[in-house]
Chain A
Amino acid sequence: MRVSFTVNGRPQEADDVWEGESLLYVLRERLGLPGSKNACEQGECGSCTVRLDGVPVCSCLVAAGQAEGREVVTVEGLAEYAKERACTTGACGTSLDEARRWAAKGTDSQTGEGVELSPVQQAFIDAGAVQCGFCTPGLLVAADEMLERNRNPTDADIREALSGNLCRCTGYEKIMDAVRLAAARQSEGV
């Protein structure tokens, strides 16, 4: 069957989708968006987390056909999504300094190279919250959604929001640091 939906703001169509196929499979294998990871295919690890009409879900447990006509945001679109959100809350525009530093760069929608990062992505890098990186895309999507809802999260709020995301490398402390950092920068308007 054919499935048409919006991914990261762009209309997409996938053909010859098997009826039992997951949204995760369609994103990775048919639309060339391998950012969302496939680790367990049973909802346990959260590495496939995407936003479906704004709501964080495990894309491995959404039937592709259920996404018909809906809006999906994956980690590949997170930077743009966060930027637009900042705009609607009035915190956008290019500063003079930024404009001076601007230079055309090659971007790669698949690897994300050359693409600007969202605040939460930058915070993960700055806090050293990425080791193998397999859990990172799902954590970023989940953390970004929490920061959108909750501008001043407590540690308990962060733990709760990330309780559906497993990481086998970091021991979570650096991930906590990263989200605290992103929250602090957000509230300072940096």
Chain B
Amino acid sequence: MDFLRPATWEEALAAKAEHPTAVPIAGGTDVMVEINFDHRRPEYLMDLNRIGELHEWETEDDSVRLGASVPYSKIMERLRTELPGLALASHTVASPQIRNRGGVGGNLGTASPAGDAHPALLAAGAEVEVASVRGTRLIPIDDFYTGVKRNALAPDELIRAVRVKKADGPQQYAKVGTRNAMVIAVCAFGLALHPETRTVRTGIGSAAPTPVRARAAEEFLNAALEEGGFWDNGRIITPSLARQFAELCAAACNPIDDVRGTATYRRHAVGVLARRTLTWTWESYRGSARTSKGAA
């Protein structure tokens, strides 16, 4: 095994071009487990910790460019306002020690259906900024997950950052697990209201071969909210509306039975999480709509 230690981003891209099989290591919270247990013996291990810009984020007009290695603990603490869904999801990852090292770049690199960043990124709307010596491209998050633990990266590419739209409305993230800390999700659900475009977006984790959006549920809800004038009148979401939304979210799952839960349980639980997160976000939207009206 060789240990590559690029000091700059350009060096890292050059090294990855020269050794496409090199395994990048950022926080190491996925890679080191595999190495410790002899599940992986890469020819080259490429440390990304020396590349400062991967640990930084920039706030742009309507989005945040989040460096691939910004640890979850920073996202939780510093980006709660801009990226509330991702901040909530980050807080559910493992433990403080893991959150101090692991980040979204590694989560995307592993692309596990159980990764907690994914539902939040799907719901918020994100693009993955990847680069190689050939240049940079932006991969829409909807096209990023290509199979179980597979993603759209080419062998010579590295993840530079994710560009996530700044929240223009309430966002929520909920996860089912056996306890509060240190659990891989049995299933998870992210939901974001986008009042500016009058749309709702979702993300489902651990309930299909890849993280997915519940598109039929989103379309149904978007149409119903528009038709009922909900965005303007701030009416309460009726139970039947919430129920139909939840059923469509459950139907978007394609889960498996495993040690963490059965497929039936997962489908059911996703429905419950969908209903809850919709209620929480909508109540918060109504609340803020009322205050801004009251203030005017």
Contacts and interface: CB of A to CB of B under 8 A. Distances in A.
Interface in B179-195: 180-182
A57 B101 contact: yes
Interface residue tally on A, bucketed by range: 20 to 34
A43 B97 contact: yes
A19 B182 contact: no
Q: What's the dominant secondary structure at chain B's contact region? A: loop
B36 to A, nearest CB: 4
Contacts of A49: 97
Contacts of A55: 100
Contacts of A161: 96
Contacts of B101: 57-58, 61-62
A130 to B, nearest CB: 20
B227 interface: no
B181 A19 contact: no
Contacts of B5: 65, 68
A55 B100 CA distance: 7
Contacts of A27: none
Given A61-B28, A61-B33, A66-B47, A19 B96 contact: no
B51 interface: no
Interface in B240-268: none
A61 B100 CA distance: 12
Interface string A14-27: 00001110100000
Interface in B107-150: none
Interface string A128-163: 000000000000001000000000000000001101
B35 A163 contact: no
Given A62-B28, A68-B5, A142 B97 contact: yes
Contact of B3 (A19, A142, A164): A19
A56 B32 contact: no
A116 to B, nearest CB: 26
Nearest 4 pairs between A and B by C-beta?
A164-B95, A163-B181, A19-B1, A19-B3
Interface of B: 1-3, 5, 25, 27-29, 31-33, 35-37, 41-42, 45, 47, 49, 94-98, 100-101, 180-182
Given A20-B42, A42-B37, A63-B3, 10 more contacts: A19-B1, A55-B100, A58-B101, A61-B33, A65-B3, A66-B28, A68-B5, A163-B95, A163-B96, A163-B181
Interface of A: 1, 18-20, 22, 41-44, 46, 49, 55-58, 60-63, 65-66, 68, 142, 160-161, 163-165
